[in-house]
Structure 1
Amino acid sequence: MPHEPRSPFTLAAGDTLAAALRNIPLPALEIRILASHTLGLTRVQLITQADRSLTDAEANALKELVRRRLAGEPIAYIVGQREFFGLPFTVTPAVLIPRPETELLVELALERLPPNGRVLDLGTGSGAIAVAIAHQRPDANVTALDASHEALEVARGNAERNHARVSFLHSDWYSALGREIFDVIVANPPYIEKNDPHLAQGDLRFEPVDALTDHADGLSDLATIVAGAGQHLADAGWLLMEHGYDQAQAVRDLLTKQGFGKVQSWRDLADIERVSGGCLKT
Structure 2
Amino acid sequence: MYKILEKELLAPNIYKMVVHVPRVAKSAKPGQFIIVRVDEKSERIPLTICDYNKEKETVTIVFQTLGASTIKMSKLEEGESFKDFAGPLGNPSDFIYEDIEELKNKKIMFIAGGVGIAPIYPQVKWLNSKGIKVDVILGSKNKELLIMEEEIRREVGSLYIATDDGSSGFKGLVTDLLKDLIEKEEKKYDLVIAIGPMIMMKFVAKLTKEYNISTVVSLNTLMVDGTGMCGACRVTVGGETKFACVDGPEFDGHLVNFDEALRRQGMYKGEEAKRLLIQKEREEGHVCRIGLGGDEKND
Which TM bucket (shorter chain)?
0.3 to 0.5
What is the TM-score normalised by the length of structure 1?
Answer: 0.43
Asked which structure has the greater CA Rg, the reply is: 1
Higher RCO (CA 8 Å, separation ≥ 6 residues): 2
- Greater fraction of residues in strand: 2
What is the TM-score normalised by the length of structure 2?
Answer: 0.41
